Structure 1
Amino acid sequence: MKNTNNDYEKMNELYDQYEQKVYYVAYSILGNVQQSEDVTQETFISLYQHLHKVSRLNTQDLKRYIMRIAKNKAIDSYRRNKRQETLLNKYQNEASEVVDENIEDWEQQLMSEDTIDELLATIAESSKQVFKYKVFYNLPYSEISKVMGITEANAGKQRCHL
């Protein structure tokens, strides 16, 4: 379609006449100023793209046509909002579940460390050392025996008392 001065004048006329009505329709559906302004703009862009249809309509049909475009665009925007809201809620629920799981894991780990500390308090000092070297440093009994100055058999026996 050619851009002519008549098209520009026709769009200005339509905008002046229907902009507030289009905005009102959009706002009544969306309840949001920014989104209603966006829908108003989209409505007039769509109207411009179909300007050849508009020129054949009488005044009453033209008004219905414009309002239908506005209503449909507002409903589409409303549906997009609901989908985004649903996705956001789903993400937030999943994120809070992950946080809850991590807290439970942390609490379980904390309880395990407390339990280990209590158990270590009840055993002999030499057994504590063997336990620490084995668990925390992952040393074999041969290395533990060298570090502690005891036989490998003795280091192995110390673990049996745990």
Structure 2
Amino acid sequence: MKTKNKDYEKMVELYELYEQKIYYVAYSILNNIQQAEDIVQETFIILYQNMEKIYSLNTEELKRYILRIAKNKSIDGYRKNKRHEMFLDEYQKESPEVADENIEEWEQRSICEVQIDTLLTELNDSYRQIFKYKVFYNLTYQEISKIMGITEVNARKQFERARKRVQNMIGGLENDEFKELQKYV
């Protein structure tokens, strides 16, 4: 019980000392209030998961450790934002095809995507993105590799792994929402 109380007090102390510093680091990289606030939370989650290390560091080392975590998380967020921007640019180039699409078809695809999104939370971020690009947006492996900054072979392999995982997850499900997805897996 004393250890948990000691950990709690240490986290409160760290929060009071570093919350604003972490926020400023994150905001300076991301230029987004909500994402910077998320980085603050993620940083403190990582700190809590690594309490042993926190106790072993002196004050200066601890400050560098905390701000390095915040900086790395922010850079990851920045890269993710850039990938999404590239994807949106590519998507907008294809807008004439989208204009021909029936509104009911678009709506049905959107509903199906939301339902399947819930299922895809079981995949890691990279597999989930590649699966969505391939299944929902019908992108080629070459296009996916450019968007995600990976090789074409890597994109193909990650899609295959994601497809197998999804196939295992929906294996016996007969719900209407998954019938559309099953033709891809």
Which TM class, normalised by the smaller chain length?
A: 0.5 to 0.7
Partner amino acid for 2:9? E
2:76 and 2:57 map into 1 onto residues whose CA distance is 25
Partner amino acid for 1:60? E
2:5 and 2:82 map into 1 onto residues whose CA distance is 41
Say whether residues 1:73 and 2:91 are aligned partners.
no
Compare CA radii of gyration and give the structure with the larger one: 1
The corresponding residue for 1:45 is 45
Is there any run of 5+ residues in structure 2 with no aligned partner, and where?
A: 101-185
Sort the Cα spacing of 1:99 and 1:73 in 2 relative to 1 into closer, same or farther, 3 A: closer
Is there any run of 5+ residues in structure 1 with no aligned partner, and where?
A: 103-162
1:49 and 1:99 map into 2 onto residues whose CA distance is 45
Partner amino acid for 2:96? E
The corresponding residue for 1:82 is 82
C-alpha RMSD of matched pairs (Å): 1.7
Instruction: Return the offset for 1:93.
Output: 1.1
Say whether residues 1:19 and 2:33 are aligned partners.
no
TM-score normalized by the length of structure 2 = 0.51
The corresponding residue for 1:97 is 96
Please list the CA deviations of residues 25-73 of structure 1 after superposition, one character each: whole Å capped at 9, or x if unmatched: 0000001100000011100101111111010000000000000000000
TM-score normalized by the length of structure 1 = 0.58
Sort the Cα spacing of 1:77 and 1:99 in 2 relative to 1 into closer, same or farther, 3 A: closer
Instruction: Return the offset for 1:97.
Output: 3.5
The corresponding residue for 1:4 is 4
